[in-house]
Amino acid sequence: MASEQGTYYVPEQSKLPIFASLGLFLTVYGAANWMNGNDIGPSIFFCGSLLFAFVLWTWFSTVISENMAGMNDAQLKRSYVWGMGWFIFSEVMFFAAFFGALYYIRAFSVPWLGGEGERGSSNMLWGSFEAAWPLMTTPDAALNGEAARVTGPEQSMGWQGLPLYNTIILLTSSVTVHFAHTALKSDKRKAFNYWLGASVLMGIVFLILQVEEYIHAYNELGLTLDSGVYGTTFFMLTGFHGAHVTLGTFMLLVMWCRSVFKGHFTADDHFGFESASWYWHFVDVVWVGLFIFVYILGS
Q: Are 273 and 265 in contact (CB under 8 A)?
A: yes
For residue 245, pLDDT over 90 is answered with yes
Neighbour count for residue 293 (Cβ, 10 Å): 16
pLDDT, tens digit, for every residue of 48-62? 999 998 998 898 888
Q: Which H or E element spans position 157?
A: none
Residue 126's pLDDT is 63
Neighbour count for residue 86 (Cβ, 10 Å): 10
The Cα–Cα gap between 266 and 273 comes to: 10
pLDDT, tens digit, for every residue of 90-114? 999 999 999 999 999 888 888 877 7
Residue 199's pLDDT is 95
Residue 129's pLDDT is 66
* Residue length of the chain: 299
Q: Average pLDDT of 202-225?
A: 87
The Cα–Cα gap between 293 and 295 comes to: 6
The reported pTM is 0.82
The Cα–Cα gap between 148 and 134 comes to: 19
pLDDT, tens digit, for every residue of 270-285? 888 899 999 999 999 9
Q: Average pLDDT of 14-32?
A: 92
Q: Are 240 and 95 in contact (CB under 8 A)?
A: yes
- For residue 297, what is the DSSP state? T
Percent of the chain with pLDDT over 70: 84
Residue 5's pLDDT is 54
Helix, strand, coil shares of the chain as percentages rounded to 5? 75, 0, 25
Q: Average pLDDT of 17-31?
A: 93
For residue 223, pLDDT over 70 is answered with yes
pLDDT, tens digit, for every residue of 148-201? 344 445 555 666 788 899 999 999 999 999 999 999 998 899 999 999 999 999
Residue 150's pLDDT is 43
Over its C-alpha atoms, the chain yields an Rg (Å, rounded) of: 23
Q: Which amino acid is at 65?
A: S
Q: Average pLDDT of 218-241?
A: 82
Q: How many CA atoms lie within 13 A of 227 on its CB side?
A: 25
Q: Which amino acid is at 21?
A: S
Mean pLDDT, the chain, rounded, equals 83
pLDDT classification of 225: cutoffs 50, 70, 90:
confident
Q: How many CA atoms lie within 13 A of 172 on its CB side?
A: 15
Least confident residue range of 152-161, 183-192, 209-218, 239-248: 152-161
For residue 143, pLDDT over 90 is answered with no
